Copies of this chain bind each other. A is one copy, B any other.
Amino acid sequence: MDSDYAQIDSILNARSMAVVGASGKPGKFGSVFVLTQLAMGFDGSLYLVNPGEKEIFGRPAFPDLSSLPEVPDLVYLTIPAHLCMDVLEDCGRLGVKGVIVVAAGFRELGAEGEALEGEALRIAREGGFRIIGPNCFGIYNARNGLTLLPGHDLSRTPGDTAFLSQSGGFSVHVARMGNSLGIHFSAVVSYGNGADLNETDFLRYFARDPRTSYIAAYLEGVRNARPFLAALREAAGRKPVILWKVGGSAVSRQAVRSHTGSLAGSAEIWKGAMAQAGAIPASGVDEVLDVLIALRHLGRRPGRRLLLAGGGGGLGTYGADLAEGEGLEVPPLDPGSAAALKEILKRAGAVVANPLDIGTPLIPLPLFGPSMKEAAGNRSTDILVFDLALNFGRNMIGEERLGAAADALALARKDSGKPVAVVLYSRSCDTEDMATEQSLRCFRSRLLGEGIAVFPSMPRAMRAIALANGGCP
């Protein structure tokens, strides 16, 4: 363990923190953050610092860091850029471990901001503490209850996935969507400009962190390519690493400079570097989460041979086109399984082949269990993908039928010992019917709890499975 590792570890797992710029006045940045952190419930000591306020939401306000009863592990600065330097000097003098600088207005603004950022870094080096940011949303850690700026409702269940992000918005989006899909986090870090601790440091940390089994990252650019690529190779050799790299177009390269003051690098060079390192390229919050679901429930490199099944001929026909487009295969059924399935699915409309059409979207329960069990175990394929085209509308999706379908799929997975994925379309944007949406969410949650991968559309399922196998050939 090097000193970077220990320093990052003590910051992420801080047992005490101070919010400088905390406020009780509505609409203020420091007020929003304090409410967020209070709602999340930080486990350690939380000190609120503001020389102009006496009490903040019923808690005492301290005039400065020196007045606190202890030196906090972590200081969270919610004050404007030009006011930060004095407080950073205090941090160094007192011996805090880390400081999160939320404010924008540094390197991304050009020469003047760059000088200010350099000054902050100098103070940190001299004071022996580390900076996260500036221009960031901070840290989410379910273990101690530290949270991102708009993250008051993030889960307190710790998990095994790390997400590091140069964008604050995407860090919250991934955390919140992930939570609702049963993906919990060892930590989420929004590090903005990365003036001090940057993508390379966090990647190295999470590669070694025993709590982290999966790493995902949103990157605009890197400070220093060579050490980053070395860290990427090392990390991807230890655990799956998903990289969402933006800045491939000329316009977005300029936007990257304005956003976090980074250099994006060419898309081609990045593509090659990711492939060489064994990292999984992804694009967008949805795709990052789809790949995490695929890795978790289907495994790393789960195989490319799919059995596509559904209640209707169009589903498989469309799915087979998409599979081929992603470099996946839809091979003929194993003769033994084909014979068994023909015996089970003796009904007009069923087509026993790959794709497999069970003949009706209204899942015929007595046939569903046995046919799914046989399909999941089919020897010529690696993964059963069932498209649950629940498009038969309100009132026709009974809880009982959904429950029985989930049981049958869970049993098929267990008995076959092979991965199962389900495509569960979001059914509608109906403003009146929330009951169906809730049923489907509970159904999704139940399937995920059974270790079944769930994707919201066939294109997203095919892409995620291809990426979990290492991307398109």
Contacts and interface: CB of A to CB of B under 8 A. Distances in A.
A258 B220 contact: no
A349 B359 CA distance: 56
B324 A362 contact: no
A255 B320 contact: yes
A172 B362 CA distance: 13
Contacts of A389: 169, 173
B391 A173 contact: yes
A369 interface: no
Contact of A176 (B81, B393, B442): B393
Contact of A320 (B105, B252, B314): B252
A457 interface: yes
Interface in A149-188: 150-154, 165-170, 172-173, 176-177, 179-181
Interface in A205-226: 218, 220
Interface string A296-322: 000000000000000111111111111
A104 B317 contact: no
Interface size class of A (residues with CB under 8 A): 35 or more
Interface in A340-358: 348-349, 351, 353-355, 357
Contact of A246 (B312, B318, B395): B318
A223 to B, nearest CB: 17
Interface in A256-309: 256, 258-260, 267, 283-286
A427 B165 CA distance: 18
A457 B251 contact: no
Contact of A442 (B283, B431, B445): B431
B457 A314 contact: no
Contact of A348 (B80, B348, B428): B80
Nearest to A443: B431
A251 B320 contact: yes
A311 B169 contact: yes
A443 to B, nearest CB: 10
Interface string A134-157: 010000000000000011111000
B392 A284 contact: no
A457 B153 CA distance: 22
Contacts of A166: 314
Given A246-B318, A357-B259, A429 B441 contact: yes
Nearest to A39: B395
A394 interface: yes
B259 A313 contact: yes
Contacts of A425: 173, 285
Most chain B beta-carbon contacts within 10 A, residue among A246, A354, A427: A246
A316 B179 CA distance: 25
Contacts of A430: 179-180, 441
B354 A251 contact: yes
Interface in A76-98: 80-81
Given A324-B249, A362-B150, A180 B429 contact: yes
Contacts of A325: 248-249
Contact of A169 (B108, B154, B260, B391): B391
A353 B259 CA distance: 11
A392 B311 CA distance: 38
Contacts of A152: 393-396
Contacts of A428: 176-177, 179-180
A116 to B, nearest CB: 12
Interface of A: 32, 80-81, 103-105, 108, 135, 150-154, 165-170, 172-173, 176-177, 179-181, 218, 220, 246-252, 254-256, 258-260, 267, 283-286, 311-325, 330, 348-349, 351, 353-355, 357, 359, 361-362, 389, 391-396, 425-431, 434, 437-438, 441-442, 444-445, 457-459
Given A150-B396, A252-B318, A434-B434, 13 more contacts: A104-B349, A167-B312, A167-B313, A169-B312, A169-B361, A173-B389, A177-B427, A246-B318, A249-B320, A252-B320, A255-B317, A286-B459, A431-B441
5 contacts: A151-B393, A173-B425, A177-B428, A181-B429, A283-B322
- Give 7 nearest A-B pairs by CB, closest first: A167-B314, A259-B313, A150-B392, A249-B324, A252-B320, A169-B312, A104-B349
